[in-house]
Amino acid sequence: PTHGSWASPIIFEAAGKTQIITLALPLVMGSSLADGNELWRAELMEGEITPSPIFAAGLVMAINPASKLFALRPDGAGDVTKSHLAWTVEESLPDITSPVSNGDLVFTVTTGGLLTCFDAKDGKMVWQKDLELEVQSSPAIVGHRLLVLNTKGEVVWVEAGREFKELSRAKLDDKFHASPAIANGHIYLRGATNLWCLGGKK
């Protein structure tokens, strides 16, 4: 009972169930993987939904591009709009990219390159830095590092910690809009003209 959405669903174990989480105007919905039945819903979405949800620190986190980043406890039933809302943030919100988390911290980056770190437990801002880049790819965490890829091929590595520390920058001769994929010790980046693989040979 929703509109269309650009957000990808996620699957995880919580409250003794394997849940599928979907975002689409106007709902965040938790459904059972076993039979597809709805477990819970929260009416928190507005506008065109592009960022995908994540599951971290026991919470479903999602971005409503029109107004907020929020976290929900996934152990409810029925309408949990008010009862299971753990925290909300209402500034520095991406409209395209998805958040990413290491379980302790949550990172977001706006199209204009504003990188923000939040505490996953309560949503409080830990730090913020303007990278002065145009970004349409979601950030990724690789080990203890955060990868931010801009549209013109700049690869920025930042320490995924409670203090901002830029580690390095590199330039790839391509344009990027897709988000990084990580598998088997390698990072794959889909550019406009090439597929790039970063990582040592095995």
Q: What pLDDT sits at residue 174?
A: 98
CA distance 181 to 1: 31
Instruction: Note the pLDDT tens digit of each residue in 164-200.
Output: 999 999 999 999 999 999 999 999 999 999 999 998 7
DSSP per-residue letters across 1-59 = ------PPPEEEEETTEEEEEEEETTEEEEEETTT--EEEEEE---S---SPPEEETTE
pLDDT in tens, 130-146: 999 999 999 999 999 99
Residue-level pLDDT at 7:
96
Tell me, what amino acid is at 103?
A: G
- pLDDT at res. 92: 85
Which range has the worst mean pLDDT, 74-83, 87-96, 148-157?
87-96
User: Is a pLDDT exceeding 80 seen at residue 66?
Assistant: no
Q: What is the pLDDT of residues 103-117, one digit of tens each?
A: 999 999 999 999 999
Question: Please, what is the Cα angle at 13 between 9 and 14, to 5 degrees?
Answer: 105
| Position 87 confidence tier, pLDDT thresholds 50, 70, 90 | very high
Q: What are phi and psi of 120, to 5 degrees?
A: -65, -25
Kind of pairing between the strands at 10-14 and 59-64: unpaired
Mean pLDDT of 114-128: 98
Q: Does the pLDDT value for residue 65 go beyond 90?
A: no
pLDDT surpassing 60 at residue 155: yes
Residue 202 has a pLDDT of 57
Strands 59-64 and 54-56: antiparallel
**Structure letter (DSSP) for residue 140:** E
Q: Are 118 and 68 in contact (CB under 8 A)?
A: no
Order of strands, edge to edge, in the sheet holding 145-149?
Answer: 140-142, 145-149, 154-159, 166-171
pTM of the model: 0.95
Task: Taking residues 79-105, report their average pLDDT.
Answer: 96
